[in-house]
Structure 1
Amino acid sequence: MTSTTPRYLRPGKGTKVANAFARGVTKLGISLWGSRVLGVRGRTSGQLREVPVNLLTHEGAQYLVAARGETQWVRNLRAAGEGQLRLGRRVEKFGYRELADDEKPAVLRAYLARWKFEVGVFFDGVDASSPDETLRRIAPGYPVFEIRTA
């Protein structure tokens, strides 16, 4: 029996505290290993929602990877069709292209190589040295967005 429920790992209290810290220092202009504050309009409220994210640069392109799966920011981004990335006072609006599962292995590998110490727990033993077949198998549970700035 296969589940049709999208993969989503809800953050605990510790993560919420760490995210608040990361969001605060990133808004001050201090990037923690490539952090940005992602701002997206809520799909129900229309209010700007913010969350810290790791902005990956890989082979000349920039990506956002949802390590926790179908998060609120993923749902909001899909509904809004655009968002903004902030570092200090600099705010950059963007559109995106969501990657198909077959396109994800190289990006997931680069993401894990850079941030495994932070996000490895969300990948159930899969790491940057895992074979492409393994990365392809887990790809449906990890939304990946290629950022397109104006």
Structure 2
Amino acid sequence: MMSTRQYVRPPWAARVIGSRMARLFKPDVVSLLSVPGRTTGVWRSTAVAVLTHRGEEYLLAAYGDTEWSRNLRACRTGRLTRRGRTDHFTAVEVDPAELPALVEAYLRQFGKLPTVDRTFQALPDPADHPAFRITITGHERA
């Protein structure tokens, strides 16, 4: 079945410069997500903001149905490098009914970051933003 979810390609500056710089200037906010590719199994990495909501951690695809969200949906496991260590985790995609509350919490926490508010204006339907509840399963030093 073909997905009807949307995707907004981040601007060049956000893709090429922003994600690298954000990890330097906002290390408490931006983490490095690594997920094995759904076809090749090769690990792919991208900068993300981890949402903490009601005592649990979530990854929310602000740009819509991204490659990392499709890879995570397929393998349900990954790594987050943050604050000098790497956390291994398992992920479960959240029920669509939970998405509006998660999008609202995401915008409260990260809406002031460059391009975030604009992205949610371009994709206003919470169903266009895959979200995953993550559970840390192990740690290693980065």
Q: TM-score, length-normalised on structure 1?
A: 0.79
Alpha-carbon distance in 1 for matches of 2:108, 2:35: 27
Alpha-carbon distance in 2 for matches of 1:21, 1:41: 23
Figure out how many residues of one structure are paired with residues of the other and give that number: 132
| Equivalent residue in structure 2 for 1:120, among 117, 120, 125 | 117
Structure having the higher Rg: 1
Q: How does 1:93-104 map to 2 (within 5 A)?
A: 93-104=88-99
| Equivalent residue in structure 1 for 2:49, among 54, 77, 82 | 54
Alpha-carbon distance in 1 for matches of 2:106, 2:11: 22
Q: Which has the higher strand share?
A: 2
Matched, 1:8 2:3: no
Query: What SS does the aligned partner of 2:64 have?
Result: coil
Q: TM-score, length-normalised on structure 2?
A: 0.83
Matched, 1:38 2:61: no
Q: Which has the higher helix share?
A: 1
Counterpart of 1:13, as a letter, is W
- Which runs of 5 or more residues in structure 2 are unaligned? 138-142
Shift of 1:89: 3.5
What is the identity percentage for the equivalent residue pairs of Structure 1 and Structure 2? Answer: 35
- Which runs of 5 or more residues in structure 1 are unaligned? 127-134
Structure 1 segments, 4+ long, off by >4 Å, are none
Provide the alpha-carbon RMSD of the alignment.
2.1
Query: What SS does the aligned partner of 1:43 have?
Result: coil
Post-superposition Cα deviations, 1:53-80, rounded to whole Å, max 9, x if no partner, equal 0011111000111011100100111122
Counterpart of 1:12, as a letter, is P
Shift of 1:88: 4.6
